[in-house]
């Protein structure tokens, strides 16, 4: 039964996490149907790896959500990446010319090791981790995505910002030849290129912040921000700047793409907050892509335990 269930899933969707979650799903269902309480009794692979073979179970990591991952097809075909167009299908459709290799990231500003690094050199020796995170877009939809990346904190520690550095700024690549959305057009998105984002230094050092290079156990595709993008799961998706070529340490709060375009609507912090509505719509609920009903949105996207203390004493209505 387990094998049959697994073979029903497109091979492109199979990852250790996915099999793990599917098996948990199966165990839950089987337990309910058979009235058996001890899941371990049905699927010995839970406790005995000899039987697990194809279903390498991966224990839930400290930062993983155990919610069901959004199908790979949606993760790679329902995207926001305005450099490739403003419709959700545009990034997959219009990114065919985009070349993620070779890739260079320039590290600048208040830092002891400023340089132009090849992506390999930038990440050399840092340990990649796989994490399943919730992602909440400001447009009131969400996904659960298995990412692979390195903790941003580990990279920052290696680059050694000076004590004066209070923020870190990121910029997306400028390549109008490969990114039709960056060419002048009357259908412009209102954003100024290159797309820019930033974090306060304590946010950047929070263990949840990841520099992502992979999705579902494979190298990230262009539409997800190849070859390297930011993911901060307690913030709205727009903080997750894609295809990063510049990392700059500074003592001033950076101007960010959406804050610059519409400051009344998008603030610097961009923390997921169901109590503070977008001026044009509520942020109290969200629709998980692939589902029909709405869920209640959680404070800090469900990561309050890990991040709330960074904002204690701040008025989150003003600092949105």
- Residues lying near ligand MTE in the complex (CB under 6 A) are found at 79-83, 135, 137, 172, 195, 224-225, 237-238, 240-242
Q: What is the dihedral of CA 166, 103, 82, 138, to 10 degrees?
A: -40
Q: Choosing among ligand MTE, Mo ion, none, which partner's interface includes residue 242 (Cβ < 5 to 8 Å by kind)? A: ligand MTE
81 versus 311: smaller Cβ distance to Mo ion: 81
Interface positions with Mo ion (CB under 5 A): 80, 137, 237-238
DSSP per residue, 160-207:
-B-TT--EEEEEE---TTT-GGGS--TT--SPPSSPEEEEEHHHHTST
Smallest distance, ligand MTE to C-beta of residue 132, A: 14
Smallest distance, Mo ion to C-beta of residue 229, A: 13
Smallest distance, ligand MTE to C-beta of residue 83, A: 6
Residue nearest to ligand MTE (CB): 237
CA 303 – CA 277 distance, rounded (Å): 19
112 versus 192: smaller Cβ distance to ligand MTE: 192
55 versus 243: smaller Cβ distance to ligand MTE: 243
Instruction: Note the helical H segments in the chain.
Output: 2-7, 16-34, 39-42, 72-77, 90-94, 119-123, 152-159, 201-204, 257-261, 304-307
177 versus 251: smaller Cβ distance to ligand MTE: 177
From residue 105, alpha-carbon distances to 4, 6, 198, 245, 302 in Å are 45, 40, 16, 4, 32
Smallest distance, ligand MTE to C-beta of residue 218, A: 13
CA 114 – CA 153 distance, rounded (Å): 16
216 versus 311: smaller Cβ distance to ligand MTE: 216
26 versus 193: smaller Cβ distance to ligand MTE: 193
- Using the CB atoms, write b or e for 215-235: b if 16+ within 10 Å: bbeeebbbbbbbbbbbbbbbb
Smallest distance, ligand MTE to C-beta of residue 177, A: 16
Q: Choosing among ligand MTE, Mo ion, none, which partner's interface includes residue 198 (Cβ < 5 to 8 Å by kind)? A: none
């Amino acid at each position: 039964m387990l094998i049959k269930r697994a073979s029903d899933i497109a091979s492109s969707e199979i990852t250790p996490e996915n099999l793990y979650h599917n098996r948990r799903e199966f165990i839950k269902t089987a337990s309910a149907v058979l009235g058996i309480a001890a899941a371990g009794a049905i699927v010995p692979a839970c406790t005995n790896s000899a039987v697990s073979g194809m279903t390498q179970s991966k224990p839930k990591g400290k930062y993983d959500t155990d919610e069901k991952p959004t199908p790979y097809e949606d993760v790679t075909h329902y995207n926001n990446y305005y450099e490739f167009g403003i419709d959700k299908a545009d990034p997959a459709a219009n990114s065919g010319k985009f070349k993620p290799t070779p890739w260079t990231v320039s590290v600048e500003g208040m830092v002891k090791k400023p340089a132009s690094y090849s992506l390999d050199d930038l990440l050399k020796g840092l340990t990649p981790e796989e994490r399943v995170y919730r992602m909440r877009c400001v447009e009131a939809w969400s996904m659960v995505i298995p990412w692979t990346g390195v903790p941003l904190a580990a990279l920052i520690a290696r680059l050694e910002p000076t004590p004066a550095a209070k923020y870190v700024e990121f910029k997306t690549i400028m390549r109008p030849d490969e990114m039709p959305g960056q060419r002048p057009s009357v259908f412009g998105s209102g954003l100024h290129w290159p797309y820019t984002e930033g974090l306060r230094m304590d946010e950047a050092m929070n263990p949840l912040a990841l520099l992502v290079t992979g999705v579902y156990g494979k190298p990230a595709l262009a539409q997800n921000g190849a070859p390297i993008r930011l993911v901060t799961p307690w913030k709205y998706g727009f903080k997750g700047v894609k295809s990063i070529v510049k990392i700059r340490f500074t003592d001033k709060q950076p101007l960010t793409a959406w804050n610059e375009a519409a400051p009344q609507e998008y603030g610097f912090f961009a923390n997921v907050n169901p109590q503070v509505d977008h001026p044009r719509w509520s942020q109290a609920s969200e629709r998980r892509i692939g589902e029909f009903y709405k869920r209640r949105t959680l404070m800090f996207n469900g990561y309050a335990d890990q991040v709330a203390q960074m904002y204690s004493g701040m008025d989150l209505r003003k600092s949105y």
